[in-house]
Chain A
Amino acid sequence: MEAVVFVFSLLDCCALIFLSVYFIITLSDLECDYINARSCCSKLNKWVIPELIGHTVVTVLMLVSLHWFIFLLNLPVATWNVYRFIMVPSGNMGVFDPTEIHNRGQLKSHMKEAMIKLGFHLLCFFMYLYSMILALIND
């Protein structure tokens, strides 16, 4: 059972890693002026909710399967995701707003955030991998 949990987490984590990479690539495209803010933001906003769900599911899964340490590790990031999503002002077009992304260094902070998430997911990836192997061996 535990192996199944980690296999799922591992796959989910892979998806999140790809998503982070996609975020980074798109944002850097915007930074380099390859795409305009409008299309960049609409591209990214599409993936905000999948990311949110993907990560929340893993977190909840860890809670359910009573992996406290991994749950606590995931909790802050999951909370941040939810918070960020909820706090979008009513007039904005999503977490990434084309009219504001160039203001107040938002682009940079988004970039930083995507980088941190990438690192975090990589860490998780190896953790899940290790746990999965451990679980498989134990089985």
Chain B
Amino acid sequence: MSAPAGSPHPAASTRIPPKLGGAAVSGAAAGPGPAPHQQNGPAQNQMQVPPGYGLHPQNYNVPSGHYSQGPGKTTSLPLDSQSGGYYSGVYTIPTQNVVTPNTANQQSGAQQIYGRGPPAPHIVGSTPGYFQGAASSSSHLHTSASQPYSSFVNHYNSPAMYSANSPAVSQGFPSTCGHYAVSTVSNAAYPSVSYPSLPAGDPYGQQMFTSQNASTIRSVRENSFSGQNTAVSHPSPLPPPPSQQYHQQLSLSGYSPLSWSASGLPSTQDNLIRNHSGSLATANNNPNAVAESSSCPVMQTVQPPESSPVVSTVVSGASSARAPPTANHLVETVASVTQPSELLQQKGMQYGDYVNNQASSAPTPLSSTSDDEEEEEDEEAGVDSSSTTSSASPMPNSYDALEGGSYPDMLSSSASSPAPDPAPESDPAPAPVPAVPQPSKTTKPFGYGYPTLQPGYQNAAAPLSSGVQPSSPVYSGFQPYAQQYPGMNQLSSSFGGLSLQSSAQPESLRPVNLTQERNILPMTPVWAPVPNLNLDLKKLNCSPDSFRCTLTNIPQSQVLLNKAKLPLGLLLHPFRDLTQLPVITSNTIVRCRSCRTYINPFVSFIDQRRWKCNLCYRVNDVPEEFMYNPLTRSYGEPHKRPEVQNSTVEFIASSDYMLRPPQPAVYLFVLDVSHNAVEAGYLTILCQSLSENLDKLPGDSRTRIGFVTFDSTIHFYNLQEGLSQPQMLIVSDIDDVFLPTPDSLLVNLYESKELIKDLLNALPNMFINTRETHSALGPALQAAFKLMSPTGGRVSVFQTQLPSLGAGLLQSREDPNQRSSTKVVQHLGPATDFYKKLALDCSGQQTAVDLFLLSSQYSDLASLACMSKYSAGCIYYYPSFHYTHNPSQAEKLQKDLKRYLTRKIGFEAVMRIRCTKGLSMHTFHGNFFVRSTDLLSLANINPDAGFAVQLSIEESLTDTSLVCFQTALLYTSSKGERRIRVHTLCLPVVSSLADVYAGVDVQAAICLLANMAVDRSISSSLSDARDALVNAVVDSLSAYGSTVLNVQHSALIAPTSLKLFPLYVLALLKQKAFRTGTSTRLDDRVYAMCQIKCQPLVHLMKMIHPNLYRIDRLTDEGAIHVNDRVVPQPPLQKLSAEKLTREGAFLMDCGSAFYIWVGKSCDNNFIEDVLGYPNFASIPQKMAHLPELDTLSSERARSFVTWLRDSRPLSPILHVVKDESPAKTEFFQHLIEDRTEAAFSYYEFLLHIQQQICK
């Protein structure tokens, strides 16, 4: 529990980032409660977030935070019901697993957002503790399936147990008799138990019984049990004090068995009492998983093959146990349970054999202490409301555990996820209950779930994990995974006989015949695949918006990677605007002593005092301060610290991380005021925008600002406080620029605000009669550098023409006749090294140069861009800018400026990317200067900057099953605080080619390829780059065909994960940056290349492959709600003219521009209601706005457009294109599936690839 400022333990108090949601903040304000007590507090009966808990979500609920925040700026993910499944799979589930009561609450919130069922506490949750959980779940089971299976149950207790979800067993009773006892007992008990009456004494009595059995193993437990029982027996709103005591004791004691039991105790009470037991439910789940594992041996001994139905129920039971948290209330549980179970029965039948095998393969009962510990953690998490939003037990106790199997959570999840739909397409994570009855609906076109891997990993992990197997029957058919672990021969061989084989192939590997499949593009936006990790890691993993890898399954060796012929690299968006970010203030930032990795959720704690780095495997000590958890205010829980609960965190750095005192925010504007610039009229817009946003410029009281203008001379402005008006100082010696009055040119924004405003008012008219056509950009930049070098900061350069005087002058290199040349495109590289040198000088002085190029003719962007590229600036380009002739560009500039001036900024930043030993980074893409092998020097960092890194595998990764990547961005915030933002991504390692293909993130791969192609076209030639792109498709598809499919098809086959690959590559080839044959101005092309280099993935994808929607029939079906607005979510159309009908109107989202194409015979209602004109003929040729009309369809269209627009940093211009207007070529050139005179259609492209492959 992070008490905001007044925390008694300031040493590690957490801060609330400024961007928190309002609700969260209020929660924080109300949340003074001490963590351990809260549960027992008066708020228990409430369904709502107890005040204390409220704090949590706020600060630490990163997982849910990201996603629940909805389609904000960055994610822009429509959270409609369709995607609900996905979300739930990936992100909600994590929260579900969260054991903390508070998370339960959060969870409910999240669910609401996702439009799922009522998040109310369900039965499982309500059942207290794992023991009760067991009882309850088992009872569910019974209800659902008891009749048909009763016989089974009797015979085969263990399966029943599973299904029973009985956590008691999960506690890891080593003795089979214990199991028996439990299961039998439960069997006996449950039929009699009615569901609503769950909290009643019956089940608990049973529990008692079991617990007693258990107690033979651990007397401590017995105590706890008895405590539980008391709790149970007193379902009074206030839990009995003894339990509290226990709890506290235990939390201190950390890993001791006592602690878990004790912790379980209060939580059970809580849940019981509160009814808001989502958290507990998860607790139940975990044990349940263990229970499965432990029960395996039992099965082995007892179970004949007929047990399959039971097994199915088992699975269903697990799922039910899990699922309820999502949606069902106590009473409803029954229904929910039954549904899946029925569904699953059929499946279960199939897997029966498998289970047996499993059992046989898992000879050791799972009673290891590590399991206990994990459970204990879970329990504690459940108890400690204060623990972060994240998971129950993020912290594996050993690396083995981390790698694989022994995660109870994971088990349960895996059990549950297959449950609703064992078919490979099933969502990777447990589907919400409502979805269970209709697996087909939950099925997503992108089935990255193929959780098949999990069993494999689990196998690899340890004997314990074998117990996990029962959860995986669904995947049993997927042989490769099992086979890759030699130790599991038995297992894999047993798989061999399964009938599942064919059906259990992961969706992402399903072969797709590209030439046959006409509608390759899914109806919904393509999401990032989810790395195939166990659920705990999944929910801890970094958001794909910040951190993506082209291969979500990292191949084991470079040889394997070479075989796959796919690019391996990372795509980063490290400084993305986040609404929720845990900010940690701590005296010591815990890092690995040898590789300096920041502690992260994927490290393993060897014991309480030591942790093992997940990048270099060094064992480090846990510092004393880290033992104290400011959230729970408890000691001895290093794994509960927010650093270890969130993969994206921000540290407030101490002075160790400063080379000098944090710099103030310093902004310098370097403005072109030559005739050309005045003619274009940008000054008016800039000055207006600047004076409007002067107060919103990020910074503190030290913020400084300055102005330099230039034509053939350089003009400085003395704005020193005390002057009556701004003083202009002209330096005409451009060969040796000097600063006339070094002190008063950069002035404090607040002290000189009046002068600055005067200057901004005066500037647009000062040069109105200028005759000066020359532009001495180079000297002006040198002056700016001199001005900035003492502090560092941001230089914004506005340039409107080719620099023609002084250092850095450039000649026109473009030959307009070559614009549509199909052969050679020259001059993509810079003409001089002046700008590069300048940029490096600036970078050395922590100054970034941002370039706004507003020119009507060629301005050699290729050379000019260097000043931004290497100083970590950004580049904006407004071709043929004119404030009256081209109002849409003017408006765009205005909006871009608003964003530019007010967005977050980090100064004097460096970013270091680390990866697990064995991997190495060899090439970086983006705007920065690579100072040393893995250190990027970023003078400024802005939220719109994306980066890409290419990786190679230097050493074989055979001895690890996970690899991690960590980026640490150290920057000075505009408030003068030194901060470190750390993202950590964890990915599995695979050894078979099929797995590599299954895990391809095609969007990330395309973006990386685009970056590589830009490099290639600059260093070599454009045609080389184009060939390389085509070869990338040809190579990867032929490699897939020859190695994975092993058959020589004449057809063009791709795995589902790669099915969009050819389409995207074709889109790239038709992109401005790489296209040939179509007239493209050199600056446009170079700008597109710059964009490719520095745009984050989400925005880049729209640039490469625009989204096309039909908007004349928007409905509320599947609409999402954003800020009280209903945003319709029309399906994506493929980019082909065949989709355009004359009766419709279509919106194309190209990232930087929107086109609304209106068909000739478009419905007049639409034209009138949305466009505001009576009929098609009256629509003007140039229309850049949707009028605000008071009609439903207008509202829908506008909210949709606004929603799309809000999701990106560059505000796109809207063009309404009539079917007949000349502007329609602009629109049609984006229809990349169609043939143009210079390029293939999609089908032709496929044929071309096919030819190449067959060659």
Contact bitstring A28-44, B, C-beta under 8 A = 1, else 0: 00110100111000000
Contact check: which of B833, B931, B932, B935 meets A92 at CB < 8 Å? B833
Cα of A118 to Cα of B1187 in the assembled complex, Å: 73
Closest 5 CB pairs of A and B: A91-B830, A102-B930, A33-B932, A103-B923, A93-B833
Judging by beta carbons under 8 Å apart, are A90 and B922 in contact?
no
Residues of A within 8 A of B830 (CB): 89-91
Contact bitstring B920-945, A, C-beta under 8 A = 1, else 0: 00111000011111010000000000
Cα of A107 to Cα of B863 in the assembled complex, Å: 24
Q: Which segment of B545-553, B836-844, B999-1007 sits at the interface?
A: B836-844
Judging by beta carbons under 8 Å apart, are A98 and B933 in contact?
no
Contact bitstring A98-113, B, C-beta under 8 A = 1, else 0: 1101111101000000
Judging by beta carbons under 8 Å apart, are A99 and B870 in contact?
yes
B886 in contact (CB, < 8 A): no
Residues of B within 8 A of A99 (CB): 836, 840, 869-870, 929-930
Residues of B within 8 A of A107 (CB): 933
A63-103 residues with Cβ-Cβ distance < 8 A to B are 89-93, 98-99, 101-103
Judging by beta carbons under 8 Å apart, are A91 and B844 in contact?
no
Interface size on B, residues (CB 8 A): 24
Judging by beta carbons under 8 Å apart, are B844 and A89 in contact?
no
Shortest CB-to-CB span from A104 to chain B, Å, is 5
Residues of B within 8 A of A90 (CB): 829-833
Residues of B within 8 A of A98 (CB): 840, 929
Cα of A31 to Cα of B922 in the assembled complex, Å: 12
Q: A38-B840, A89-B1019, A93-B837 are in contact. Are A102 and B831 (CB under 8 A)?
A: no
Q: A91-B863, A102-B924, A105-B922 are in contact. Are A37 and B836 (CB under 8 A)?
A: no
Judging by beta carbons under 8 Å apart, are B831 and A36 in contact?
no
A-B contact pairs, 28 of them (CB 8 A): A30-B932, A31-B933, A33-B932, A36-B931, A38-B931, A89-B829, A89-B830, A90-B830, A90-B831, A90-B832, A91-B829, A91-B830, A91-B832, A91-B836, A91-B863, A92-B833, A93-B837, A98-B840, A98-B929, A99-B869, A99-B929, A99-B930, A102-B932, A103-B922, A103-B924, A103-B930, A104-B923, A104-B1015
Q: A37-B931, A99-B870, A104-B923 are in contact. List 7 more A-B contacts (CB 8 A).
A: A38-B931, A90-B829, A90-B830, A91-B836, A103-B923, A103-B1015, A107-B933
Cα of A104 to Cα of B840 in the assembled complex, Å: 20
Residues of A within 8 A of B833 (CB): 90-93
Q: A99-B836, A103-B922 are in contact. Are A37 and B866 (CB under 8 A)?
A: no
Residue of B nearest to A38 (CB): B840
Tell me the B residues contacting A by CB distance below 8 Å: 829-833, 836-837, 840, 844, 863, 866, 869-870, 922-924, 929-933, 935, 1015, 1019
Cα of A36 to Cα of B929 in the assembled complex, Å: 11
Tell me the A residues contacting B by CB distance below 8 Å: 30-31, 33, 36-38, 89-93, 98-99, 101-105, 107
Cα of A37 to Cα of B932 in the assembled complex, Å: 6
Judging by beta carbons under 8 Å apart, are B866 and A91 in contact?
yes
Which of the listed residues B829, B831, B922, B935 has the most CB atoms from chain A within 10 Å of its own CB?
A: B922
Cα of A103 to Cα of B832 in the assembled complex, Å: 20
Cα of A100 to Cα of B932 in the assembled complex, Å: 11
| Tally of A-B Cβ pairs under 8 angstroms | 59
Residues of A within 8 A of B863 (CB): 91
Shortest CB-to-CB span from B479 to chain A, Å, is 37
Cα of A125 to Cα of B915 in the assembled complex, Å: 43
Judging by beta carbons under 8 Å apart, are B932 and A36 in contact?
yes
Cα of A92 to Cα of B831 in the assembled complex, Å: 9
Shortest CB-to-CB span from A89 to chain B, Å, is 5
Residue of A nearest to B863 (CB): A91
Judging by beta carbons under 8 Å apart, are B844 and A38 in contact?
yes
Residue of B nearest to A102 (CB): B930
Shortest CB-to-CB span from B403 to chain A, Å, is 31
Residues of A within 8 A of B935 (CB): 33
Judging by beta carbons under 8 Å apart, are B836 and A93 in contact?
yes
Residues of A within 8 A of B1015 (CB): 103-104
Judging by beta carbons under 8 Å apart, are A104 and B836 in contact?
no
Shortest CB-to-CB span from B932 to chain A, Å, is 4
Residue of B nearest to A101 (CB): B930
Cα of A103 to Cα of B933 in the assembled complex, Å: 9
Residues of A within 8 A of B923 (CB): 103-105
Residues of B within 8 A of A93 (CB): 833, 836-837
Shortest CB-to-CB span from B226 to chain A, Å, is 60
Shortest CB-to-CB span from B436 to chain A, Å, is 50
Cα of A33 to Cα of B863 in the assembled complex, Å: 29
Cα of A90 to Cα of B833 in the assembled complex, Å: 7
Residue of B nearest to A108 (CB): B922
Cα of A92 to Cα of B833 in the assembled complex, Å: 6
Shortest CB-to-CB span from A40 to chain B, Å, is 10
Residues of A within 8 A of B922 (CB): 103-105
Residues of B within 8 A of A37 (CB): 929-932
Which of the listed residues B866, B933, B1019 has the most CB atoms from chain A within 10 Å of its own CB?
A: B933
Residue of A nearest to B870 (CB): A99
Contact check: which of B831, B931, B933 meets A91 at CB < 8 Å? B831
Shortest CB-to-CB span from A29 to chain B, Å, is 10
Cα of A38 to Cα of B840 in the assembled complex, Å: 8
Judging by beta carbons under 8 Å apart, are B933 and A33 in contact?
yes
Cα of A105 to Cα of B921 in the assembled complex, Å: 9
Shortest CB-to-CB span from A47 to chain B, Å, is 18
Shortest CB-to-CB span from B934 to chain A, Å, is 9
Cα of A93 to Cα of B838 in the assembled complex, Å: 11
Cα of A100 to Cα of B866 in the assembled complex, Å: 13
Residue of A nearest to B862 (CB): A91
Shortest CB-to-CB span from A58 to chain B, Å, is 30
Residues of B within 8 A of A103 (CB): 922-924, 930, 1015
Residues of A within 8 A of B840 (CB): 38, 98-99
Shortest CB-to-CB span from B618 to chain A, Å, is 19
Residue of A nearest to B1018 (CB): A89
Shortest CB-to-CB span from A112 to chain B, Å, is 14
Residues of B within 8 A of A102 (CB): 924, 930, 932-933
Cα of A101 to Cα of B924 in the assembled complex, Å: 11
Residues of B within 8 A of A104 (CB): 922-923, 1015
